[in-house]
Amino acid sequence: MSQNDSSNWDTSYEWKIILLLSLTFGLVGLDRFILPVILQDPNSTMGMDLGLTPEDGGVLAGYLGMAWGVSAFVMGYMADKLGRRAVLVPAILIFSLMSAFSGLATSVMMLVIVRVIMGLAEGPVASTGVAVAVEASKPSRMGLNNGIFQCMISLFGLALAPFIASRLLAIYEWHMVFMLVAIPGVIIAAIMWFVIREPLKQMANKPGGEAAPEMSMKSVLGMFGHRNAKVAPLTLICAMGGIFVIAALLFAYLTAPEVAGGLGLESFAAANVFTAVGVGGAIGQFAMPALSDVFGRKITTLTSYILAAVFLFTFSQAGPENTTVLWILLFFSSLFNFAALAILAGPVAAEAAPPGMLASMAGFVIFAGEFIGGGISPIIAGGLATDYGLRAAIYFACCGLALGFVVALFLQETAPSKVVHLHMGKEEATPPM
Q: Tens place of pLDDT for every residue, the chain, 433 residues?
A: 444 455 577 889 999 999 999 999 999 989 888 887 788 777 888 889 998 875 676 678 778 888 988 998 899 889 888 889 999 999 999 999 999 999 999 998 999 999 999 999 999 998 898 889 888 888 888 888 888 888 898 889 888 887 788 889 889 999 999 999 999 999 999 999 999 988 765 555 555 545 555 555 566 666 778 899 999 999 999 999 998 888 778 877 888 888 878 899 887 788 788 889 989 999 998 899 889 989 999 999 999 999 999 999 999 999 999 999 999 999 999 999 999 999 998 889 888 888 778 888 888 888 888 888 887 888 888 888 888 888 999 999 999 999 999 999 999 999 888 776 544 444 444 454 4
Residue 283's H or E segment, with its range, is helix 267-295
Model confidence pLDDT, tens digit, residues 370-422:
888 887 888 888 888 888 888 999 999 999 999 999 999 999 999 888 776 54
State CA 364 to chain mean position distance. Answer: 13
Residue 370 DSSP class = I
**What percentage of residues in the chain have a pLDDT greater than 90?**
44
Q: What ranges in 318-371 are assigned the alpha helix state H? A: 323-343, 349-352, 358-368
For 10-196+223-423, CATH gives 1.20.1250.20
Closest to 366 in 3D by CA, of 375, 354, 379: 375
SS3 for 210?
A: coil
What span, in angstroms and rounded, lies between the C-alpha atoms of 131 and 83? 11
Q: What's 38-103 look like in SS3?
A: HHHCCCCCHHHHHCCCHHHHHHHHHHHHHHHHHHHHHHHHHHHHHCHHHHHHHHHHHHHHHHHHHC
Contact between residue 281 and residue 312 where contact means Cβ atoms under 8 Å apart? no
What ranges do the domains of the chain cover? 10-196+223-423
Residue 256 DSSP class = S
Q: What ranges in 138-266 are assigned the alpha helix state H? A: 142-154, 161-169, 174-195, 199-205, 217-222, 227-255
Q: Within 13 Å of residue 91, how many CA atoms lie on the same side as its CB?
A: 30
Closest to 342 in 3D by CA, of 388, 399, 306, 291: 291
In this structure, which amino acid lies at residue 306? I
